[in-house]
């Protein structure tokens, strides 16, 4: 049982804490440093973990095997720099902040510190998340296994070999839930325009999305095959899909995802240097 420290106790940290405890990790081996006293009390009451103020972060990091940086990108430099002097024992440091690359983190934490970048998404709140992971060269095989176990506790965890692919993960699964929420929102709206009540349109749209995702997850068939299976020649689905194609849905999705990936890369350039000093 390794010691696990969270710097920040927000929603994503809470999801990880709940998932890893459900997977068998001892709450007594988990500490959360959180600036808000009320939030600290809630974390201790809900999960049975140890809690500390942000002023105690460096002290807590000195005894941790794994440190999860669950803070906003805008404050990452200050938080990471404040921990650097206490990481001589080379714990695994995991960042879940968007747009902060390993070069910047190594610059602030220390060039030899093992670092993993993680890009989870919001369904992790229900332990249905999808997380992309990238490891710096300093990360050991045991530390990779710990990172895999941590994020597998809140859903699916996939490693990428090259750090720029984290920008692609951000565009696909990090931002992806919003794409599906938008489609559900539009389906609800049009359903209401066509005469359904708001409650009925909502229930049908959400259940349809859940059912389609479950089929894609469990059937073993590709999305393209599943789409073909429900598209009868000359039927209603074929007509709808033809209109999607005429309106350029593929080009729109491609442009949107490339735009999200580009923004992720822009954030890395804005928020920190790419190479450690």
What is the DSSP secondary structure assignment for residue 5, as one 8-state letter?
Answer: E
pLDDT digits (tens, 9 = 90+) for 119-165: 999 999 899 999 999 999 999 999 999 999 999 999 999 999 999 99
Mean pLDDT over each residue of the chain, to the nearest integer: 94
| pLDDT of 98 higher than 80 | yes
Between CA 114 and CA 22 the distance in angstroms is 26
Confidence of residue 275 (pLDDT cuts 50, 70, 90): very low
Among 15, 14, 74, 62, smallest CA distance to 42 is for 14
- Asked if 248 and 254 count as a contact pair (C-beta separation under 8 A), the reply is no
> Could you tell me what percent of the chain has a pLDDT over 90?
92
- Could you tell me where in the chain the CATH 1.10.3730.10 domains are found? 176-263
Between CA 189 and CA 202 the distance in angstroms is 9
Q: Phi-psi category of 253—alpha, beta or left, where left has phi over 0 and alpha has psi -120 to 50?
A: alpha
Average pLDDT over residues 53-68: 95
Helix (H) or strand (E) holding 257: helix 249-271
Q: What is the b/e burial string over 134-156, where b = at least 16 CB atoms within 10 angstroms of the residue's CB?
A: bbbebbeeebbebbbbbbbbbbe
Confidence of residue 56 (pLDDT cuts 50, 70, 90): very high
Q: Quickly name the fold that domain 4-166 has.
A: Rossmann fold (3.40.50)
pLDDT digits (tens, 9 = 90+) for 154-198: 999 999 999 999 999 999 999 999 999 999 999 999 999 999 999
What pLDDT does residue 233 have? 95
Q: CB neighbours (10 Å) of residue 163? A: 16
Task: Collect all residues with Cβ–Cβ distance below 8 Å to 219 and sequence separation of at least 6.
Answer: 226
What pLDDT does residue 276 have? 41
* Predicted model pTM: 0.89
Average pLDDT over residues 18-32: 95
Total residues belonging to the chain: 277
Between CA 183 and CA 191 the distance in angstroms is 12
pLDDT digits (tens, 9 = 90+) for 215-268: 999 999 999 999 999 999 999 999 999 999 999 999 999 999 999 999 999 988
pLDDT digits (tens, 9 = 90+) for 61-96: 999 999 999 999 989 999 999 999 999 999 999 999
- Could you tell me where in the chain the CATH 3.40.50.720 domains are found? 4-166
What pLDDT does residue 273 have? 58
What pLDDT does residue 274 have? 44
**Residue with the two structure tokens 């420290």:** 5
Among 246, 242, 226, smallest CA distance to 234 is for 242
What is the architecture, at CATH level 2, of domain 176-263? Orthogonal Bundle (1.10)
| pLDDT of 272 higher than 90 | no
Q: How many angstroms separate the Cα of 226 from the Cα of each of 95, 97, 172, 238, 263?
A: 36, 35, 20, 13, 32
What pLDDT does residue 267 have? 87
Task: Collect all residues with Cβ–Cβ distance below 8 Å to 207 and sequence separation of at least 6.
Answer: none
Beta-bridged to residue 130, according to DSSP, are 156
253: its two tokens: 């999705």
């Amino acid at each position: 049982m390794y010691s696990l420290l969270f710097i920040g106790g927000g929603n994503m940290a809470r999801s990880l804490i709940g998932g890893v405890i459900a997977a068998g990790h001892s709450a007594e081996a988990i500490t959360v440093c959180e600036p808000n006293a009320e939030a600290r009390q809630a974390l201790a009451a809900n999960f049975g973990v140890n809690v500390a103020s942000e002023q105690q972060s460096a002290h807590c990091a000195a005894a941790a095997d794994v440190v999860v940086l669950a803070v906003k990108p805008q404050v990452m430099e200050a938080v990471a720099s404040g921990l650097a002097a206490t990481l001589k024992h080379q714990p695994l440091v995991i960042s879940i902040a968007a747009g902060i690359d390993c070069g910047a983190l190594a610059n602030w934490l220390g060039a030899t510190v093992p670092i993993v970048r993680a890009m989870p998404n919001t369904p992790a709140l229900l332990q249905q998340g999808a997380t992309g992971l990238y490891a710096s060269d300093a990360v050991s095989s045991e530390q990779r296994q710990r990172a895999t176990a941590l994020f597998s506790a809140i859903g699916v965890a996939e490693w990428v070999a090259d750090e720029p692919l984290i920008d692609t993960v951000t565009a696909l699964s990090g931002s992806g839930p919003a794409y599906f929420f938008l489609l559900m929102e539009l389906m609800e709206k049009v359903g209401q325009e066509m005469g359904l009540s708001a409650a009925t349109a909502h229930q049908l749209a959400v259940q349809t999305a859940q059912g389609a995702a479950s089929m894609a997850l469990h059937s073993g068939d590709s999305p393209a095959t599943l789409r073909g299976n429900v598209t009868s020649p000359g039927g209603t689905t074929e007509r709808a899909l033809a209109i999607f194609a005429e309106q350029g849905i593929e080009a729109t999705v491609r442009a949107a995802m490339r735009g999200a990936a580009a923004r992720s890369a822009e954030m890395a350039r804005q928020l920190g240097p790419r190479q450690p000093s």
